[in-house]
Amino acid sequence: MGTARRGQPDSDRLFDIVAGQAGLFTAQQALEAGYSAQVLAHHVRAGRFLRVLRGIYRWVHFPASEHEDLVAVWLWSERQGVFSHETALALHGLSDVLPSRVHLTLPAAWKQRRFRVPPGAVLHHADVGKEERVWFGPIPGTSPRRTLLDCATAHVSPDLLNQAIAQALSRGLILTSDLPLPTPHSR
């Protein structure tokens, strides 16, 4: 931890936060590290921090990360969202899916909430249990089984779904008994 004086920003504390979040942090996390809104704005103007989304910032000199865009959306969700559907297929490397939008499942209780959705994000609402989550570095995604079930329910292209099932089976990520889905059709 840093040795900041009372009321002074603790850059070590903020850096510890960003190190586990691909260089990103929320305005709330900055506040907890002693960065008032004014000090945060000063660092943005000085070019030390970059505003990525409303209330989400990037420490400019932190090395770029593979899933930085997803970390920003996850932080936007107050770290409650779980990447799912086609996004989770891509994270697992299942099928040839190239999602054009980010699929994020938020808790079912959030369905009535009103908020500004990040550009390119598709929201789903359901409760995802801990046993249905896996981590891809700093971000959570749905397990292979849950991902395939979500994609089947959402009517993802049968070709992509069959390909994903076949790959998950061949890689030992699921067993045929795990899914009430049809096995891939042979052509």
Give the long-range contacts of residues 119-124, CB within 8 A, separation 24 or more: 121/73, 122/85, 124/84, 124/85, 124/150, 124/154
pLDDT band at 49 (very low <50, low <70, confident <90, very high): very high
Q: For residue 153, which phi and psi values (nearest 5 degrees)?
A: -65, -35
Block residue for tokens 């931890």: 1
User: How confident is the prediction for the chain on average, in pLDDT?
Assistant: 91
- Cβ neighbors of 19 (< 8 A, separation 6 or more) are 62
Largest CA distance in the chain: 69
Compute the distance between CA of residue 58 and CA of residue 20 in angstroms, rounded to an integer: 12
| Structure tokens given for 55 | 């209330």
Instruction: Please provide the distance, in angstroms rounded to a whole number, between the alpha carbons at the two ends of the chain.
Output: 59
- The answer to whether residue 130 scores a pLDDT higher than 80 is yes
How high is the pLDDT of residue 114?
86
pTM, two decimal places: 0.88
Do you know the residue count of the chain?
187
- Cβ neighbors of 99 (< 8 A, separation 6 or more) are 85, 86, 87, 89, 90
3-state secondary structure of 180: coil
Mean pLDDT for 32-58 is: 96
- The answer to whether residue 88 scores a pLDDT higher than 90 is yes
Inter-residue contact 15 to 35 (CB < 8 Å): no
How high is the pLDDT of residue 89?
97
